[in-house]
Structure formats: C-alpha cells, structure tokens
Amino acid sequence: MHLRGTEIVDTFAEAFPMTAARVVVTAVNSKWAHVAAVAATGYAASVIGCDAEAGVEAELSPADTPDGRPGVALLFFAFSRDVLQKALVNRVGQCILTCATTACFNGLPVTDRSVRVGGNLRYFGDGHQISKMHGVRRFWRVPTMDGEFLCEDLFGTVKGVAGGNLILLGTSQAAALEAAERTVAACLTVPGVIAPFPGGVVRSGSKVGSKYKTLKASVNEAYCPTLRGAVPHTELPDGVNAVYEVVLDGVDLAAVGEAMRRGIYAAAGPGVVRITAGNYGGKLGPHHLHLHELLGPVPPC
C-alpha cells in the first residue's frame, strides 16, 4: 500500500493496557496554567524509566473549567492505580500546588476505581486545611502564601491504552522531523490522546532488552542510519537517512487507533519513504493496531 508515494507497511503497533487519569489545572491566566502543566508532565516520557507517562491533552477555555478560569487538561498513565496515585500525588504536590494561582480538578467520573489526590495533599495545610463539599464532590482548600490551593479529593481512573506508535523513515533529518511534527499535530486533534515524549517525537526508538543485563530496553539498531553497515540486519531501505517515532497513549483503544490513522495521513508524502510501526510479535500487549486496517481503502495517488 502506498499513500502519496509513501509506502505503508503491512504491520501493526502493539499496545497494552494502562490505568489513566485526567487532571484539569486552572490558573489566573493561560500562562500560569501552562507553566504548571509543563512542570507536572515533565520526565514522563516512558514508564521504562519514569513513574508515569503524561502529557497535555487539551487547552481549556474558562467556559470549559470548573472554576471559570483558563486551564489545561492533562492525562497521566501508569501500570496500576497504586502507582498512578503515587505519581499524581507527587506531581500535583510538587508541580501544581507549588505553582502560582493554580487549582486542580478531577476530569473523569468518580467510581470505586478512583484514587485520592487532594485527600493526601491536604496535610500540607498542617491542620489549617478546610474540606468543602459541592454536591457529591469533595474539595480541599489548602492555605498558601498567595491565597489558597483548591484540589479535588478523588480522581477517577479508566483503563487506557499505551504504546500506539508510528515509525517514519525519511530521506533526511529535516524531512523526517517535519513529517513527525505533522504527525503529532494530527494525532493530538483526537480527544483523549497524548504523545508523551518531548514534543511528541522520539529519536531514540528502542527494543526490549539489551546485551547489558541491567537494562530493560536499548537502542533499536535496525533503524539507526549510522549503523546501517555495522549490524547484521537493517530496516532502512536505500535513500532513508533519518527515522523518528511517534508514541501515543489514549483513554481507550478507539482514540489511539483514530490518532494513528490521522497521523499516517498527515505524515505521508514527499520526503517520507516508509511508514511502519513497532511491535514485538504480539508478546508485549493484547492490542494490535494494524496500519492497513486503520487506513481502510486508500485511493490511488
């Protein structure tokens, strides 16, 4: 299959279940909401080495937030509710509570699978914190030096999906990076999806395992142009000189699949020789997102 001259490989991205939470952060203006978002989602590219995978899902207008202020919606993913709760408490406590003028709200329905965030952070108030009920929702008001930090008690979770991915093989670094940027922009038009790596783009695609026993993952040498002649097997056809990967997490499988579909259409074209995806033969995760099935019939072009 080809799309605008780019080969679409008949393969699949192998994704796996993760527990997800949505955090809504508001502030006095969009600048400070963004400052909090950047800090809270930092060092959250891959659970291979981070406590969570996280990113900005959407910018929110005052009409879309609980307190009528500018905000952002963040998504966090971890392997279990316990791990996710610990990551949320640490990140909200260190990066949002500390950020000027912010408040923090749950963005998913509260169920018996919820995690406690505000209820753990309230102790920073050292006895001066106040509980506030709004309907069935509990909030904690924690005094700070600029007023108070308002944080919701419970945050809902869902079984999300992580590991959706597209691998773009370009004729040059510039062409591959431009395509990757188009891909990320298209993917993030789907609600409920994030691209957790820096700028949504991965330069250090990895494989499971390593010659060094202490490493869980290591460089995927088959996609490294500088190793083309030094390794037994390469995935790089003639004319490919740079590769970038886009990794996606979503609140459900449908969102990840739709993001990948939009990403393929955005990436294909001059300068992109091939689009493929990473998988481990079906051994890593139960969700297999086949590129040809996502695209459906592609008209000749």
Q: From first to last of its 301 residues, what are the pLDDT tens digits of the chain?
A: 999 999 999 999 999 999 999 999 999 999 999 999 999 999 999 999 999 999 999 999 999 999 999 999 999 999 999 999 999 999 999 999 999 999 999 999 999 999 999 999 999 999 999 999 998 999 999 999 999 999 999 999 999 999 999 999 999 999 999 999 999 999 999 999 999 999 999 999 998 889 999 998 999 999 999 999 899 999 999 999 999 999 999 999 999 999 999 999 999 999 999 999 998 877 778 999 999 999 987 655 4
To the nearest 10°, report the CA torsion of 113, 154, 162, 63.
130
The CA distance from 160 to 218, in Å, is 25
194 in any annotated domain: yes
What pLDDT is stored for residue 297 in this prediction?
A: 74
282 in any annotated domain: yes
Given a contact cutoff of 8 angstroms between Cβ atoms, the answer to whether 2 and 299 are in contact is: no
Q: Which two tokens stand for residue 72?
A: 């952002």
Same-domain status, 175 and 240: yes
What pLDDT is stored for residue 280 in this prediction?
A: 80
Question: What letter represents residue 263's amino acid?
Answer: G
Same-domain status, 131 and 25: yes
**What is the number of structural domains in the chain?**
2
Q: Which of 249, 259, 241 is nearest to 177 (CA)?
A: 241
Same-domain status, 213 and 261: yes
- From residue 174, give the alpha-carbon distance in Å to each of 144, 243, 248: 47, 10, 22
CA-based angle 54:55:57, to the nearest 5? Answer: 130
- From residue 150, give the alpha-carbon distance in Å to each of 27, 47, 227, 261: 11, 29, 52, 39
Same-domain status, 112 and 166: no
Same-domain status, 151 and 25: yes
Same-domain status, 101 and 178: no
Print the domain residue range for 142: 19-158
Same-domain status, 147 and 200: no
The CA distance from 244 to 209, in Å, is 20
39 in any annotated domain: yes
What pLDDT is stored for residue 285 in this prediction?
A: 84
Among the candidates 142, 158, 174, a domain finishes at 158
- 3-state secondary structure at position 101: coil
Same-domain status, 67 and 145: yes
CATH of residue 94: 3.30.70.520
301 in any annotated domain: no
Among the candidates 158, 185, 211, a domain finishes at 158
300 in any annotated domain: no
- 3-state secondary structure at position 238: coil
179 in any annotated domain: yes
Among the candidates 116, 139, 158, a domain finishes at 158
Same-domain status, 166 and 279: yes
Task: Give the list of residues 6+ apart from residue 42 with CB closer than 8 angstroms, or none.
Answer: 95
Same-domain status, 198 and 281: yes
Same-domain status, 7 and 61: no
Same-domain status, 34 and 151: yes
Distance linking the first and last C-alpha atoms of the chain: 11
107 in any annotated domain: yes
The CA distance from 171 to 149, in Å, is 50
* Beta-bridge mates of residue 108: none
- From residue 287, give the alpha-carbon distance in Å to each of 43, 196, 276: 26, 19, 16
CA-based angle 190:33:121, to the nearest 5? Answer: 105
The CA distance from 289 to 11, in Å, is 8
The CA distance from 39 to 142, in Å, is 20
DSSP 35: H
23 in any annotated domain: yes
